[in-house]
Amino acid sequence: MEKTKLIPVLALVAIVVVAGCTGKGNEQGRLYGPLHWHVQLELETCGVAQGLPSFDPNRQEFYGTPHLHHHNDNKIHLEVPPGESILNSDATLGGFFRAINMPFSSETFMNYKNGDKCSNGAAGMVHFFVNGVENSEFGAHPIIDGERAKIVFG
Ligand SMILES: [Zn+2]
């Protein structure tokens, strides 16, 4: 093949390969609407039940973002309308707590970090449970409709 013909062929191959990769990556890396999923939350620090930050329902429809929020019901709402999508990495417990600006990781929860002492003097740490079973994914755990998640510092 002549050099002048080879270059356009190689360029075409490169475009196809790049387009194929990004297309596949997007499909694997996103969840597409319509989705309306809920996760029941139970939160506790040093033996005391905690709620999500509340809001005035006369002034706003939800607390968080259109895709990730709560309605003063201690539930994560993942709501993605038809034609919209959310990154898999945001469709997680961590994504929800980022959306409501509440610290949550294996190291920190609300205003506590591992090693902080509760009023009884004992040092606590963050524990995470899904449907009653301790789970080590913390913020990386995906939002799955119907699950119950519990976060405990203590
Ligand atoms: Zn909802």
Q: What is the pLDDT of residues 29-75, one digit of tens each?
A: 999 999 999 999 999 999 999 999 999 999 999 999 999 999 999 99
CB-CB contact of 68 with 90 (8 Å): yes
Distance in Å, CA 37 to ligand 1 centroid? 6
Same domain for 108 and 136: yes
Those residues whose beta carbon sits under 5 angstroms from the ion ligand 1 are 77
| C-alpha dihedral sign at 34, 144, 95, 46 | positive
**pTM for this one?**
0.81
How many angstroms is it from 28 CA to the middle of ligand 1? 24
pLDDT at position 107 is: 98
Specify burial of residue 7 (Cβ count, 10 A radius: 0-12, 13-18, 19+).
Answer: exposed
Distances (CA, A) of 10 to 13, 19, 22, 23, 57: 5, 14, 18, 20, 59
Do 38 and 63 lie in a common domain? yes
94 and 72 in one domain?
yes
Q: How far is the CA of 55 from the centre of ligand 1 (A)?
A: 16
Do 45 and 92 lie in a common domain?
Answer: yes
pLDDT for res 62: 97
Give the tokens for residue 90.
């945001």
Residues 14 and 84 in one domain: no
Q: What are the pLDDT digits (tens) for 88-99?
A: 999 999 999 999
Question: 73 and 59, same structural domain?
Answer: yes
Assess whether 115 and 56 both reside in one domain.
yes
13 and 71 inside one domain: no
Question: By residue range, what is the domain housing residue 15?
Answer: 1-31
Structure tokens at 74: 């201690």
Query: Can you give the pLDDT at residue 20?
Result: 45
Residues 42 and 99 in one domain: yes
Share of the chain above pLDDT 90, in %: 82
Instruction: Report the pLDDT value the prediction gives residue 12, as an integer from 0 to 100.
Output: 53
107 and 135 fall within a common domain: yes
Question: How many domains does one find in the chain?
Answer: 2
User: For the segment 118-147, what is each residue's pLDDT rounded down to a tens digit?
Assistant: 999 999 999 999 999 999 999 999 999 999
Q: Is the pLDDT of residue 10 over 60?
A: no
Asked if 99 and 48 sit in the same domain, the reply is yes
67/108 same-domain check? yes
For residue 23, pLDDT beyond 60: no
